[in-house]
Structure 1
Amino acid sequence: MVKITADNGNENYLVEIESSTGNRITADEPEAKGGKDKGFSPKELLASALAACTSATVRMFCSRKEWDLKNINVQIELIEEQSKTIFKRELQLEGNLDEGQRNTLLNVANACPIHKILTNAISVETALI
């Protein structure tokens, strides 16, 4: 289970986020939206989760198979349309990989845990405490 605490304090849009494991990150909105651009926007954090998970999952798979992956660069573009959200993901794989391996890694990217979360039904349950 993942547990995150977000504390806004008294500054508009600036949020200090802490994980149950003690990691910290700052979120904020860009100046154009009223923030001070002191951290990732919430939408950037969401896209970052997909990029990080994709990269780590592909790297882990290649390490296990002992495939020659030198680097993986993942780019995510979050596009909001009228009735849907699109995550446009591009993978740049560097290394000595044949076409079969590259196709396998595309499937591995599509199986990363965050991809699965984002493509399954999602429910948000909110309570005041």
Structure 2
Amino acid sequence: MIADNGTVVASIGRDHYKTELTASTHTLLADEPTGNGGTDSGPMPGDFMRMALASCTAITLRMYADRKKLDVERIDVKVNSERTEYKTIFKCEITIAGNITDEQRARLEEIAHKCPVHNVLSHPIEVDTWIVH
């Protein structure tokens, strides 16, 4: 099944728990590790949330660095998460390689908080789910 722009489609057959994900013209696989009964043929669903935050943060920082003509060679964003009783905490560790000042580094940290995925995850989220016939 092909998704339209902005819609992601997840399709699963009888394989435990290999799921084909389609976004626009891109296809990826999600799965569970073998220890959970899957075939480990793709990242777990929670990994995709962490990847979305990491990639959005990196892209946002690259856009800013390019626009401001900062001497940034590489940006690495490492994201992990932990679930507490009341919330999920995402932890983003950013490494920036290049010739930048402490002031520029501080501004880049501020900009990291402005990525769209960070904004979505930082605010209340509502999910409407229904089964169609």
TM-score (norm 1): 0.96
For the residue of structure 1 that corresponds to 2:96, the secondary structure is strand
Deviation for aligned residue 1:17: 0.2
Q: Which residue of 1 aligns with 2:11?
A: 7
The structure 1 residue matched to 2:76, chosen from 44, 48, 73, is 73
**2: distance between equivalents of 1:108 and 1:4?**
27
Q: Which residue of 1 aligns with 2:50?
A: 47
**1: distance between equivalents of 2:119 and 2:35?**
32
Q: Which residue of 1 aligns with 2:90?
A: 87
**1: distance between equivalents of 2:45 and 2:38?**
12
**1:62-105: CA deviation from partner (whole Å, max 9, x where unpaired):** 00110000000100011112221110110000000101100110
Deviation for aligned residue 1:34: 1.1
**2: distance between equivalents of 1:117 and 1:11?**
32
The structure 2 residue matched to 1:111, chosen from 99, 110, 114, is 114
**2: distance between equivalents of 1:102 and 1:126?**
41
**1: distance between equivalents of 2:17 and 2:83?**
21
**2: distance between equivalents of 1:86 and 1:31?**
26
The percent of aligned pairs where both chains have the same amino acid is 35
**1:31-67: CA deviation from partner (whole Å, max 9, x where unpaired):** 1111111001001011000000000000011001100
What amino acid is the match of 2:20? E
Q: Which residue of 1 aligns with 2:60?
A: 57
The structure 2 residue matched to 1:18, chosen from 22, 28, 33, is 22
What is the RMSD computed on CA atoms of the aligned residues?
Answer: 0.9
